Structure 1
Amino acid sequence: MRIRPVAPTDARSVAHLVDELLVELHHGELEHADRVSIAETVLTKTSRCFGYLALEGDSPVGVLLMTEGMAIYAGGAFGQITELYVRPECRSGGLAAALVREAARFGKERGWKRLDVGAPGQPRWSRTLAFYQSAGFVEVGPRLRLDL
């Protein structure tokens, strides 16, 4: 396994991994969207979107994407993990933790004081919450959204 920075040319691979993540999160239900096109747009925003792709040989098996936010409470710039997914057959081997370590290293280089992530709903995804806590994240409460 190797981990490398994600590039705009990875849009198709990233879109397929994010599709797999969404199918898992939504009990097999997946709303139709042209995620390849969305990934192409997102990944070209190289000053706003960052990430890493995990590969087994040449085959993508995991992805971590993040964006940079700004907030006074965060001390200025901070990172937000937007997607983190490792294919089931590659889990429990430390790959997700390695992706998070790369994200943390990247964030420190950019001067971020923190890296935030939203964990999926509990208690169904308690294993995900436990993973983030074992990686050093501290639970700060639920996150909500307003669709615009």
Structure 2
Amino acid sequence: MQIRPARPEDVPVILELIHDLAIYEKEPHAVKNTVQALEQNLFGENPAIFAHVAVDSGAVQGFALWFLNYSTWEGVHGIYLEDLYVRPEARGKGYGKALLRTLAEIAVERGYARVEWCVLNWNEPSIRFYKSLGAVPQDEWTTFRLTGDALTTFGGAAA
């Protein structure tokens, strides 16, 4: 097994895995991303997202897509893990743990304050996995999101 930064040639398989993740999360038609958009966002002039892949026998078995966040209280960056996904047939072999460990190592090496992510409340296998690593849920916080018509209405109000 090898964990390495994603390369441009990995983009099609990462997008395939994003589609698989959407199916797993019961949102099979929600992915609007394209190979071109993902490649531009990961490898364009000023990328703001990053990805690592787990490779075994030449095949990508999973990925972690992440970006930097910032703690105003601590005055340092952190890593926000947007997606972590391992192919179902490859689960239980340490790929997910190795991907998360890589992000933790990056955070420690760079002096970042944390690695954080969200998990769906019904996703008990993932919750158990994350807790086994020492991660703790942030139960005192609720995630809010502006999207769709609400975003357009609110964001277009100034125009």
Category of TM-score, reference length = shorter chain: 0.7 to 0.9
> Match for residue 112 of structure 1?
112
Higher mean displacement: 40-49 or 71-80: 40-49
Correspondence list, 1:54-73, <5 A: 54-73=54-73
* Aligned pairs (5 A) from 1:84-103: 84-103=84-103
Q: Which runs of 4+ in 1 moved over 6 A?
A: none
Correspondence for 2:4: 4
| Preserved contact between residue 22 and residue 30 of structure 2 (Cα < 8 Å) | no
Give the unaligned 5+ runs of structure 1.
none
Structure 2 unaligned blocks of 5 or more: 152-159
Cα 1:31/1:49, change in 2 over 3 Å: closer
**Which stretch shifts more, 127-136 or 39-48?**
39-48
User: How do 1:107-146 residues align onto structure 2 when only pairs under 5 Å count?
Assistant: 107-120=107-120, 122=121, 124-141=122-139, 142-146=142-146
For normalisation by structure 1, the TM-score amounts to: 0.87
Aligned match of 2:49: 49
Shift of 1:74: 5.0
Paired positions, count: 145
The answer on 1:31 being equivalent to 2:30 is yes
1:34 Cα deviation from its structure 2 partner: 4.0
Q: Which amino acid aligns with 1:135?
A: L
Which residue identity is paired with 1:128? S
Compute the displacement of 1:57 (Å): 1.3
Q: Secondary structure at the match of 1:93?
A: coil
Q: 1:99 to 1:79 in 2, by over 3 A?
A: same
Q: Which has the larger radius of gyration?
A: 2
The percentage of counterpart residues that share the same residue type is 28
Letter of the structure 2 residue corresponding to residue 70 of structure 1: Y
TM norm structure 2: 0.81
